[in-house]
Amino acid sequence: MSTRFVSFGTPNLIADRLPETHPLTWRLRGDGEPIWLDEYRSKQGYEGLKKALESTPDDVAALVKEAGLKGRGGAGFPAGVKWSLTAKGDEIPRGYLLCNADEMEPNTYKDRLLMEQEPHLLIEGMIIAAYANNSMRGYIFLRGEYVDAARSLNRAIAEAREAGILGDSVLGSGFDFELSVHTGAGRYICGEETALINSLEGRRANPRSKPPFPGQSGAWGKPTVVNNVETLCNAPSIMANGKEWYLDLALDGSQDGGTKLFGFTGRVNNPGLWELPLGTPAREIFEDYAGGMRDGYTLKAWQPGGAGTGFLLPEHLDAQMCSNGIAEVGTRMGTGLALAVDDKISMVALLRNMEEFFARESCGWCTPCRDGLPWTVKILRALEQGEGEQGDIEMLIDLVHKLGPGKTFCAHAPGAVEPLGSAIKYFREEFEHGISHPHREPQAEPIPLGQV
């Protein structure tokens, strides 16, 4: 038998987790085993759902909006606002609720923990969201590699169905909702919400142009809501404990409510994942939780939340981890899982690795992204080898603009160039160093046309 190293049981759980302060993780067991229905119920499970079913769908959406819950999938759109914009009414067919569990953004490892160990928390959150959006059916769009999460979720869904929590008349309320797991077959772009809808429909995962927004016309032309796993996992406690409590969880200065799964990785002493209040200073996460850099390494730069966010400097560590806090230092919080880049890493080589990823994962739908990203890779590879040419950095900066927001169908290309632009801004000399032949002569005489 082979040794199995599952990700169950992250050793880095905060010791004193309480329902009032750690709504996402207080139930987690020390042994890392999933929390099944009986245990979940004994730990206040499905109580938020009961409260939600006692109020009207509009009130549920309004409460989530007032609680300041922002999307945890990277874009940070207010969840309650999204829910209030979903088309619903007597003449409008009931639509779909899609949970975005495609987690493939480099340096993102939070949804996995929630799904593997707290599947019922996600199910409860999804039923609440479905009730608010009048969705008749939900799918958890799970990346194919997450086999342990699939096992947990499928078993939990079966338990919930058996207990009358899913299916016809959820908990006797008269509200019907079906839920299943849909596993993907690879490709980062499936996480973009309209590409996800195409993929669910059995098509190539090319994003769709907006408008129409999914809330008006999404999966099979029906109103469709797409939310991240962690976003949905926040709904039960908001329902159970109210908006004041949720807003108060966040620290002063944060415009987002609640807590968030934060992380720090790279060559730090204690890489991990911790549930902390929104607005926690990045320095606290880096120093107190991640334990600072390992001996022999110094922090050179960091990225607040995934490959698509901009690089920051050590001096920015005092920024608060929340949408407005990170916006103040010039980038986005993204997924909130930060990466430390140390002094032994070349920014040019790191960016080469990142752009290889973005170029490979481009869906190829629009030209700037499909052709521009391989171009950045080509230039970065040359700079890494010391074979760059005069004008290469200007060309990279030009590409950063040409692939920026609003120029492509989806946010993949803007996400790909945000780290590049910021790396050149802060570490330009490293890029310049790659131009070793400023006036390089042609290596060979051009071959006359028609002779090849």
Partner 1 sequence: MDTSFKHDTLIASDRPDDGFVLSDEERTAIEHEMHHYENPRAASIEALKIVQKRRGWVPDGAIYAISDVLGIPSSDVEGVATFYSLIFRQPVGRHVILLCDSMTCYINGYEEIRDTLKRELGIVPGQTTADGRFTLLPVCCLGNCDKGPTMMVDEDTHSHLDAAGVIKLLEAYA
Binding site for ligand FMN (CB under 6 A): 71-75, 77, 79, 100, 102-105, 188-189, 191-193, 226-228, 231, 410-412, 415
Q: Which does 392 bind (CB under 5 to 8 A by kind): ligand FMN, partner 1, ligand SF4, none?
A: none
Q: Is 203 in the site for partner 1 (CB under 8 A)?
A: yes
Pick what 154 binds: ligand FMN, ligand SF4, partner 1, none; C-beta below 5 to 8 Å, kind-dependent: none
Beta bridge partners of 244: none
Longest Cα–Cα distance of the chain, Å, equals 81
Report the residue from 61, 196, 205, 377 that binds partner 1 according to the rule CB under 8 A.
Answer: 205
Q: Which is nearer to partner 1, 53 or 341 (CB)?
A: 341
Q: Closer to ligand SF4 by CB, 34 or 207: give it.
A: 207
272 belongs to the binding site for partner 1 (CB under 8 A): yes
Closest separation in Å from C-beta 204 to ligand FMN: 15
Residue 138 CB, nearest approach to ligand FMN (Å): 14
Instruction: Specify which residues 138 forms β-bridges with.
Output: 97, 179
CB nearer partner 1, residue 146 or residue 246: 146
Least distance CB 31 / ligand SF4 (angstroms): 40
The least distance separating ligand SF4 from the CB of residue 184, rounded to whole angstroms, comes to: 16
- From 198-206, 241-249, 318-326, 378-386, give the range in contact with partner 1 by CB under 8 A: 198-206
Cis upstream peptide for 211 (omega within 30°) = yes
Where do contacts with ligand SF4 occur on this chain (CB under 6 A)?
189, 207, 362-366, 369-370, 408-410, 412-413
The residue sitting closest to ligand SF4, measured at its beta carbon, is 369
- Taking residues 87 to 126 in sequence order and writing x for each that binds partner 1 by CB under 8 A, - otherwise, the string is ----------------xxxxxxx-xx--------------
As measured in angstroms, the least distance from the Cβ of 44 to partner 1 is 27
Q: C-beta of 78: minimal distance to partner 1 in Å?
A: 25
Instruction: Kindly state the smallest distance separating residue 74's Cβ from partner 1, in Å.
Output: 13
Which C-beta is closer to ligand FMN: that of 140 or that of 170? 140
Of 395 and 411, CB closest to ligand FMN: 411
Near partner 1 in 390-449, by CB under 8 A: none
By the 8 A CB rule, do 230 and 261 touch? yes
State in angstroms the smallest separation of the CB of 449 from ligand SF4. 33
3-class SS string, the chain? CCCCCCCCCCCCCCCCCCCCCCCCCCCCCCCCCCCCHHHHHHCCCCHHHHHHHHCCHHHHHHHHHHCCCECCCCCCCEHHHHHHHCCCCCCCCCEEEEEEECCCCCCCCCHHHHHHHCHHHHHHHHHHHHHHHCEEEEEEEECCCCHHHHHHHHHHHHHHHHCCCCECCHHHCCCCEEEEEEECCCCHHHHCHHHHHHHHCCCCCCCCCCCCCCCCCCHHHCCEEEEEHHHHHCHHHHHHHCHHHHHHHCCCCCCCCCEEEEEEECCECCCEEEEEECCEEHHHHHHHHCCCECCCCCEEEEECCCCCCCCECHHHHHCEECHHHHHHCCCCCCCCEEEEEECCCCHHHHHHHHHHHHHHHCCCCCHHHHHHHHHHHHHHHHHHCCECCCCHHHHHHHHHHHCCCCCCCCCHHHHHHHHHHHHHHHHHHHHHHCECCCCCCCCCCCCCCCCC
Residue 413 touches which of ligand SF4, ligand FMN, partner 1, none (CB < 5 to 8 A by kind)?
A: ligand SF4
- Tell me whether residue 297 or residue 358 sits nearer to ligand SF4 (CB atom): 358
Site residues (vs partner 1, CB under 8 A): 1-7, 10, 12, 103-109, 111-112, 144-148, 180, 182-188, 199-205, 219-220, 263, 265-267, 271-273, 307, 337, 339, 341-342, 345, 350, 353-354, 356-357, 361
